[in-house]
């Protein structure tokens, strides 16, 4: 019963009820550390998070999602599509997320979160409404991979496109 309730937290955020057995195993493993999650929610500490959940080793997208559940304002959603979007906006070409867990986690922690917060604060954007179009944009970029595509406008023009983010 407890696992179902905890899993529903993920279902609500992900708008899906289908999890593979391996995904359920990862999610159920978080329940063993619910007190640590509560502590992190009260007073976040990167060292405690990294020591307890070891996002640099495995299943880091799920572990980053824990951050988002704890504090969606400061820890945005991050997945293959968001990586693709951010990399394209920042570097001007489409790239897929690395398979290496450590590289993936370091990119999120050291590049994406920093960029996301700066953008959010500079333009007074709603983080929830930033997450959704960034994810969709990344999905569109996946379809365009292999076609000649370039970033023709500065990011400030794209903000007009994302003006509904407020």
Mean pLDDT score, 70-99: 93
Exposure b/e, 12-37, CB count within 10 A at least 16 = b: eeeeeeebeeeeeebbeebeeeeeeb
Per-residue confidence band for 163, with pLDDT thresholds at 50, 70 and 90: low
pLDDT for 156 beyond 80:
no
Whether the model pTM is above 0.85: no
* Token output for 43: 């007073």
Calpha distance 120→108 (Å, rounded): 16
Indicate whether 4 pLDDT > 60.
Answer: no
Q: Let me know how long the chain is.
A: 166
Tell whether the model's pLDDT for residue 17 goes beyond 70: no
Q: For residue 158, what are its two tokens?
A: 């794209």
Query: Among 43, 90, 38, which Cα is nearest to 66's?
Result: 38
Spatial contact of 76 and 112, defined as CB atoms under 8 Å apart:
yes
Identify the band that residue 83 occupies on the pLDDT scale cut at 50, 70 and 90: very high
* pLDDT (0 to 100) of residue 29: 72
pLDDT averaged over every residue in the chain? 81
* Percent of the chain clearing pLDDT 70 (strictly above): 77
Q: What angle do CA 102, 106, 107 make, to 5 degrees?
A: 115
Smallest Cα–Cα separation from 162: which of 129, 139, 140?
129
pLDDT of 9: 46
């Amino acid at each position: 019963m407890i696992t179902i309730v905890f899993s529903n937290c993920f279902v609500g955020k992900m708008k899906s009820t289908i999890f593979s057995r391996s995904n359920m195993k990862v999610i159920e493993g978080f329940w063993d550390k619910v007190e640590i999650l509560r502590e992190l929610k009260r007073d976040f500490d990167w060292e405690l998070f990294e020591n307890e959940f070891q996002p640099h080793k495995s299943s880091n997208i799920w572990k980053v999602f824990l951050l988002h559940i704890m504090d969606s304002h400061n820890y945005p959603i991050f997945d293959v599509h968001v990586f693709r979007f951010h990399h394209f906006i920042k570097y001007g070409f489409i790239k897929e997320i690395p398979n290496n867990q450590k590289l993936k986690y370091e990119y999120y922690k050291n590049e994406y979160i920093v960029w996301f917060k700066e953008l959010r604060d500079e333009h007074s954007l709603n983080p929830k409404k930033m997450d959704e179009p960034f994810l969709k944009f990344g999905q569109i970029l996946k379809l365009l991979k292999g076609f000649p595509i370039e970033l023709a406008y500065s990011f400030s023009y794209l903000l007009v496109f994302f003006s509904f983010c407020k």
